[in-house]
Structure 1
Amino acid sequence: MSARGTTTGRRLAVAAVVTAVVLGAAWTQRRDLAGVVRGVHLADPRWLLVLGAALLLWWAAWTALHAAALAGVTRVRAADLPAVAGGAVAAVALNSVVTSAGLAGLAAMTRAGRRRGMPGPQVATGYLLAATVTDLGFLLVMLAGFGVLGARGELTGLDRLAGGLFGLLSVARVALTVLAVRRPAALEALAARAARVRAAVLRRPAAPPDQARTRELVEAADVLTRRPVRAVPPLLAATAVDVAGVLMLWAALAAVGGPRDLGLALSAYVLASVAAILGPLPGGIGAAELGAAAALAVAGVPLGTAAAATLLFRVAEFWVPLAVGGLAWVALREEES
């Protein structure tokens, strides 16, 4: 069997295990989950409109993030914004289905930039800058929200666990950023070593190091560390992405009759996001749903209501963007064919 076939088989096996766990949990709680379909069917249409508005805000924030990051390294005109928006939407979809630390979407932004005649290296640097500040934006939202929850005495153990795990990930990425600026050669060596470890785990040949991609990462890190003012606009847009995500979960919870508590929505959103990062499947499928539902259930939300809210949230935050972004990606490819 080829290496690609082996990797696909392992992913299918992981998906089967996750599915079995979810189905097992659903069977043990089948009486409570009987209200999920009823809750979604009877969802308040006014709150569904709020959910839709939050989704539009989420898309707009992604577009603003990539436009601002590009503007930090090259000129972006008003006429370029539709292409940037299409690239941003497609990039979100690609990153949802490909496990690549957010780098899969670079293909979409590269095509969008080429469509508008933007220099390829600058587009790549802008995209990597956007990918870098995305985590910082989430960190700002998490810390601000946890500060409010702590002041209200509502910070849970799950919140602390999720925050601690994401904090460790953030420290590692900051270390990589510093390494990229101060010791690019060491970063290349680390990337090569990581590729060898990945190849050994997956039992496939190690891919040769992508020196062009490493240089782009170094340039993005240089913009972030040496000219931090240029990173402020994309950072604000990245923060807006996660604020919109919290609003989506808040609206989904209210739509099915759950508590209209922004603090609870924030807690569930953070746990869902961290679970999605750590989950074995692309897009956090299974892990994000379990994380959000667990946070809501621990807070006292009935399981059926928590599951219905999580379902609505993931449809808005994952499945709809995946479908729309997939169409945008197909359109970008057809324009170049």
Structure 2
Amino acid sequence: MASLADSFQLKGLELKNRIVMPPMCQYSVEAKDGKPNDWHFVHYVSRAIGGTGLIIMEMTDVEPDGRITDYDLGLWSDEQIPAFRRIISEVHKYGAKIGIQIAHAGRKAEDAAVPVAPSPIPFNANYKRPRALTTAEVKEMVQKFQDAARRAVEAGVDTLEIHGAHGYLIHQFHSPLTNQRDDVYGRDLTRFGVEVIEAVKAVIPAEMPLIMRISAVEYVAGGYGLEYAIELCRRYKQAGIDLFHISSGGEGPIGSRRPGAHPGYQVPFARAIKEALQVPVIAVGNLDDPLLAEAVLGNGDADLVGVARGMLRDPYWALHALQAVSGHARDAAPKQYHAAFPS
């Protein structure tokens, strides 16, 4: 039995295999209303048919000005719930589980007239200068994350992911480079993230695991390293995170810490956090080769593997990977496709 094909259970979430489709922005909302449409329906449901164990829907924002662009998804209104529910319900028909990544772009909100951030520091010279949130507005932002989480639960998700990576708002708060506040959210750089976690935990079912995506290292000059990220994750685990999704970078122009782009380049980060905190993790980073993805699991580097661009190229990556590493994928395929996967 291949490790990729192993089931996985965490609290009330049970996955049929260890393969994850990570969040990938599609920038495809037609009416700029934040609602997923037929493109998103086909995009996600096809990966469920293709055998993926867990699908995490793309960055979905808690307010209109929290989007990277006006073509991103949102959950700032109850009117958006039915469009998400339609996709989630169909994904479930094919045995996949599905979550939503809730987020706010902060200073990386390209279409906001005036982006907001912990401190008025632009992402780079090509981005708008953001306005620093007041202390009261930060508390209001926590409420917006909670409201989005409630809507996701109403839409039928199996899990939720909080986006604390890639230079978006929560990352901006917990990075010393971008948080230069002198209030309570500046004296404790994890406070905003912790309050978001606690607020989300209050409105999701007790048996639903909560995921957080983290950048394990910053590549910008003077950015934080892995040991700092481990302490971030320690605080976030204490606040209620059950599973960490380990990525890196995204916070600014790449400095001397330029990462490699070789297959599996981020896997050591996942393993380090898993070992330090004894917490399950999702590893990502050019894991498109099924044998590499299998090795990551077989070596104990991670509990789940996220395959992003590989799934953009091949909606049936999971079935093809299971076939490649074990010689059979019939049990993972829908019955309509069994002729293509003999036992």
TM-score (norm 1): 0.30
Higher relative contact order (CA 8 A, sep 6+): 1
- Structure with a larger share of its residues in strand: 2
**Which is higher, the Rg of structure 1 or of structure 2?**
1
- Structure with a larger share of its residues in helix: 1
